[in-house]
Structures are given as structure tokens and as C-alpha cells.
């Protein structure tokens, strides 16, 4: 059995006197693909923030065993005028990457996510789907062990949602992938666990056929 990379025991998060997460009991193992499902305001994004150490628990126990956690927000700012490859090279160098391996990885991920022709385009001129893929690649360049994605399919045209999902699966390797998603869109046959969240609590954790 793969090792635990995150665990929470009776964790709670309180903001300005209001509990936004309650009674969180959860284990995440290396290599799992996990969907956190819930309606708007259910607490699914708050749970993602707890996993990613953006939130610290107010009470209870939380342990994070992965050394690198990468967080992908919903979108990039629209005003970035760098060309896509220039932008990715810049952020990669800022994190200490050597230029030779950095360029190789940029082109590798651009091929996987099918944005190679967009590398010479300015980021501001790209579609929302391409911008989101650039944001994912930006995080992957730091080689995180846990990849967290905040509503990665929300602003992508429906016909490209499954394409993006399968592209994410192709880079899984030894990474753990956790993403939030609305109740209307769940890739239940392709994830290891579905965590259903309501009113700041985990109401169920469903292990799919991948775990059997």
C-alpha cells in the first residue's frame, strides 16, 4: 500500500468565528487521483486549501508528509503580455531551474497538453482553456508530489473537459492529484476517491472501481 501524504483527524477551520470546515477526517495516499465534490459554498475549496497548507487547522490534527505541494488556481490574470514560452521560462528560472532542462520540460508538457503551437503566442491572446493549461504547466515545472487544482474544469468548454482530465492523468506518475469539481461533473470511473462535501463537512468518501 502506498504511503500517506496527507492526513487529518477531527480537523476544524474557523474564520471570524464561523466554522468553514468541521470534523475533517481524511487520509490521502501517494499516487491517488481524488475528486472533491460539492455545490458552491459547500466547503470543497476550503478543504483543498487545508490540504495545500493555505489554511492551517484551528483545531484537530493535520499532517502533511509530501515535501512539495503545487496549487493551481482557477485562472491566470488576463493582462500578461509575455509569450507563453517566455512566461514559463521566466517563472521556471525564478524557482531555480536550469535553463537547459527547463526548456526541455516546457516543451514536454506543452506536447502533453497540446499547446505547442501556442508557445509563441502572447498569454493574453490565448483561450481560457490554454491559459489554464499554462497555469498547470507552471506548477508542474516545480515537480510537486501533490498537485491541487481548484475547479480546473469550470471555465473550459464542455468538449475539452474530458480531454484536459485525461491529459492530467497522463502526467500522474508518482504524483497525487486532487481537484475540486461541481456536482454536475464527476469523472467517477477514472478517479480513486470521490469526497463529497456539504456545509463544511465530509459527508461521504466513495472509493471507486480503481481501488478494487
CA–CA dist 6, 117 (Å, integer):
37
- Burial class from Cβ neighbours inside 10 Å (0-12, 13-18, 19+) for residue 16 reads exposed
Per-domain residue ranges of the chain:
1-68+148-157+181-212
pLDDT at position 198 is 96
Percentage of the chain beyond pLDDT 90 is 70
H/E segment holding residue 150: none
The CATH label, of 3.40.50.800, 3.40.50.2300, 3.40.50.1820, 3.40.50.300, for the domain at 1-68+148-157+181-212 is: 3.40.50.300
Q: How confident is the model at residue 169 (pLDDT cuts 50, 70, 90)?
A: confident
Dump pLDDT digits (tens) for 8-41.
999 999 999 999 999 999 999 999 999 999 998 9
The CB-side HSE value for 155 (13 A sphere, CA atoms) comes to 13
pLDDT at position 212 is 45
For the cut 60, the answer to whether the pLDDT of residue 64 exceeds it is: yes
Q: How confident is the model at residue 154 (pLDDT cuts 50, 70, 90)?
A: confident
Dump pLDDT digits (tens) for 78-119.
778 899 999 999 999 998 889 999 999 999 999 999 999 999
pLDDT at position 209 is 60
Mean pLDDT of 174-196: 83
pLDDT at position 112 is 93
pLDDT at position 173 is 75
H/E segment holding residue 25: strand 18-29
For the cut 60, the answer to whether the pLDDT of residue 211 exceeds it is: no
For the cut 60, the answer to whether the pLDDT of residue 46 exceeds it is: yes
For the cut 90, the answer to whether the pLDDT of residue 210 exceeds it is: no
For the chain, the average pLDDT equals 90
CA proximity to 72, closest of 41, 113, 42? 113
For the cut 60, the answer to whether the pLDDT of residue 178 exceeds it is: yes
For the cut 50, the answer to whether the pLDDT of residue 149 exceeds it is: yes
For the cut 80, the answer to whether the pLDDT of residue 43 exceeds it is: yes
Tell me the torsion sign for CA atoms 89, 55, 154, 26: positive
pLDDT at position 78 is 73
CA–CA dist 134, 140 (Å, integer):
10
pLDDT at position 185 is 63
Amino acid at each position: 500500500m502506498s504511503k500517506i501524504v496527507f492526513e487529518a483527524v477531527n480537523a476544524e477551520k474557523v474564520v471570524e468565528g464561523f466554522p468553514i470546515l468541521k470534523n475533517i477526517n481524511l487520509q490521502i495516499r501517494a499516487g491517488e487521483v481524488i475528486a472533491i465534490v460539492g455545490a458552491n459554498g459547500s466547503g470543497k475549496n476550503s478543504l483543498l486549501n487545508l490540504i495545500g497548507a493555505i489554511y492551517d487547522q484551528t483545531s484537530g490534527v493535520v499532517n502533511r508528509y509530501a515535501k512539495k505541494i503545487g496549487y493551481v488556481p482557477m485562472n491566470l490574470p488576463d493582462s500578461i503580455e509575455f509569450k507563453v514560452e517566455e512566461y514559463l521560462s521566466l517563472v521556471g528560472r525564478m524557482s531555480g531551474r536550469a535553463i537547459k532542462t527547463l526548456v526541455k520540460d516546457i516543451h514536454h508538457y506543452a506536447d502533453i497538453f497540446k499547446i505547442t503551437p501556442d508557445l509563441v503566442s502572447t498569454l493574453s491572446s490565448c483561450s481560457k482553456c490554454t491559459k489554464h493549461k499554462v497555469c498547470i504547466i507552471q506548477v508542474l515545472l516545480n515537480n510537486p508530489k501533490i498537485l491541487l487544482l481548484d475547479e480546473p474544469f469550470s471555465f473550459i468548454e464542455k468538449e475539452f473537459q474530458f480531454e484536459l482530465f485525461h491529459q492530467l492523468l497522463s502526467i500522474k506518475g508518482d504524483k497525487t492529484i486532487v481537484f475540486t469539481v461541481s456536482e454536475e461533473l464527476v469523472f467517477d470511473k477514472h478517479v480513486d476517491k470521490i469526497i463529497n462535501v456539504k456545509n463544511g463537512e465530509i459527508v461521504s468518501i466513495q472509493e471507486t472501481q480503481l481501488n478494487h
